[in-house]
């Protein structure tokens, strides 16, 4: 046997020993193009839902109260939020902080 034959036999043996790698198929999911109007509607809806959840919760700490006030952007929402908090809770919250 000559050297070229040995080399080709070794290469063939190495190729046979290597396990076959499975290729992973990736599927690209494309999102539809959204216009500004639909994005604005979705943002307004999300903001209204977040405000509704914030208004119904009663804070237990002054930090939570301040965070909620910052989240509520309109004065109507802030008024509804403050009205739902009992006066005793407000006074005790700010006495302790």
pLDDT in tens, 18-77: 555 566 666 666 666 778 888 888 888 888 888 888 888 888 888 888 888 888 877 788
Which residue shows structure tokens 């004065």? 75
> What is the average per-residue pLDDT within 83-97?
83
Residue 97 has pLDDT above 80, yes or no: no
Whether 42 is in a domain gets the answer: no
Whether 30 is in a domain gets the answer: no
Whether 93 is in a domain gets the answer: yes
Q: What dihedral angle (degrees, nearest 10) is formed by the CA atoms of 81, 84, 89, 94?
A: 20
CA 39 centroid distance within chain: 17
Whether 76 is in a domain gets the answer: yes
> What is the average per-residue pLDDT within 4-17?
57
* Structural domain that includes position 87: 59-97
Report whether 41 contacts 20 (CB < 8 A). no
Whether 69 is in a domain gets the answer: yes
Whether 6 is in a domain gets the answer: no
Whether 84 is in a domain gets the answer: yes
Whether 63 is in a domain gets the answer: yes
User: What is residue 54's predicted lDDT score, i.e. its pLDDT?
Assistant: 82
Cβ atoms within 10 A of the Cβ of 47, count?
A: 14
User: What is residue 2's predicted lDDT score, i.e. its pLDDT?
Assistant: 55
As for how many domains the chain has, the answer is 1
């Amino acid at each position: 046997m000559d050297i070229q034959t040995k080399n080709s036999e070794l290469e063939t043996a190495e190729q046979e020993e290597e396990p076959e790698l499975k290729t992973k198929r990736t599927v690209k999911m494309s999102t539809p193009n959204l216009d500004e109007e639909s994005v604005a509607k979705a943002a307004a809806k999300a903001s209204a839902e977040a405000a509704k959840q914030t208004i119904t919760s009663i804070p237990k700490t002054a930090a939570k109260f301040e965070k909620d006030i910052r989240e509520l952007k309109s004065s109507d929402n802030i008024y509804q939020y403050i009205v739902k908090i009992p006066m005793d809770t407000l006074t005790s919250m700010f006495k302790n902080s």
